[in-house]
Amino acid sequence: MPRKRKNKRYFTKITEIAINAYNNCEDQRLKNKIYNRFIHYPFNKLSENVIHTYKTYYFDVPYEDVKASVVAFLNEKIHKFNGDNGRAFSYFTVVARNYLFNENNANYARMKARDDMSKIDTSRNIVNEVVAYNAKESKSDFIDQYVEYIDTHLFDLFLKDRDRAIADSINELFRTRADLYSYNKKALYILIRERTGVHTQYITKVVGRLKRIYAELLVEYNRDGYLSNSYKLKEFDE
């Protein structure tokens, strides 16, 4: 009799349904059953894969302890998942990755403060490699989510068509940010003015508003490891 093939997909639609059921369930015993049967293994495998994908050099505890801490963090954030967050797999991958990045950088800072610099491997510039790479990846991910948030809430954030056009042009620059750094501040203002046909004073007003929104959303992202499209801004008056 042929052996049954093992399904290599560990995080499936059933996992996402189970997570939603877990979050909507008020019976703790039933929640535990749902978690143990449908969620624990996918969280464990996801944590394992994220650790292997994003190399973290500054954890001074065994691998299994690192994995357990990632799983624990996913459990801590599981209640924040809903349909607005997109697919469960993508959402929890980002949460796990950002947790690793933040912990890795914090561990490096503690190592630097505690240890003599001679103990750090100087044969290659690992500090710059890891810290710069993690920071770049995390910032890029935040900007992607920030752009999506502005797209979703553009008509709520800006009541005038003129301001919406300016904000949309600025958001498009963030979306195609590979070219953003080739412009200085004055050139960016000129580019936006050409796209929208409005005076600089109106651009300055919208830029100021977007800066405040950016700062608030960045705090939210750093705290939770992701940016929910359902997040309500504190700064919401025109």
**Distance (Å, whole) CA 218 – CA 172:** 19
Would you say the pTM of this structure is higher than 0.85?
no
pLDDT in tens, 134-170: 455 567 778 888 888 888 888 888 888 889 888 888 8
pLDDT in tens, 74-111: 998 999 998 777 889 989 988 988 888 888 777 766 66
**Distance (Å, whole) CA 45 – CA 42:** 5
What residue segments make up the domains of the chain, in order of their start?
Answer: 8-120, 142-238
H/E stretch holding 62 reads none
Q: In the structure, what pLDDT confidence band is assigned to residue 65 with cuts at 50, 70 and 90?
A: confident
Task: State residue 130's pLDDT score.
Answer: 40
Section 195-217 average pLDDT: 85
Is-contact 151 171, C-beta < 8 A? yes
88-91 own/partner pairs: CB under 8 Å, 24+ apart: 88/11, 88/15, 88/16, 88/19, 89/11, 89/15, 89/16, 89/46, 91/226
